[in-house]
Amino acid sequence: MGLEPAISAAQGVFAAKTRRRAALACLSFEEKVRVLIQLQRIASSVVAASGRVARTPWQIDNSENPSDRAPGRG
């Protein structure tokens, strides 16, 4: 069997990544900040697990989380 199936599968994954990145780029500013804080938490936990000093994720009040808001705000 040749590499074509693997190449095709990889191309599918890359295309999905591109679509995912485009979708993330279209989020609202507030939603992007929410994703950023998730990224900070993930990165900090990985850094801490490696024994290095991790930076603190933003300590934003949950009431600022746009997902907690009524629809139509922010």
Contact residues for another protein, defined by CB under 8 A = 21-22, 24-25, 27, 29-30, 32-33, 35-36, 39-40, 43, 55-61, 64, 66, 69, 73-74
Question: Is there a contact between 44 and 52 (Cβ–Cβ < 8 Å)?
Answer: no
How far, in whole angstroms, is CA 47 from its chain's centroid?
Answer: 17
Question: Least distance from C-beta 46 to another protein, angstroms?
Answer: 11
Identify the three-state secondary structure at position 74. Answer: coil
Kindly state the smallest distance separating residue 9's Cβ from another protein, in Å: 23
Tell me the H-state helices in 1-74.
4-25, 29-49
- Match 């500013």 to its residue by tokens: 29
- The nearest distance, CB 30 to another protein, in angstroms, is 6
Which of 8, 62 has the CB closer to another protein?
62
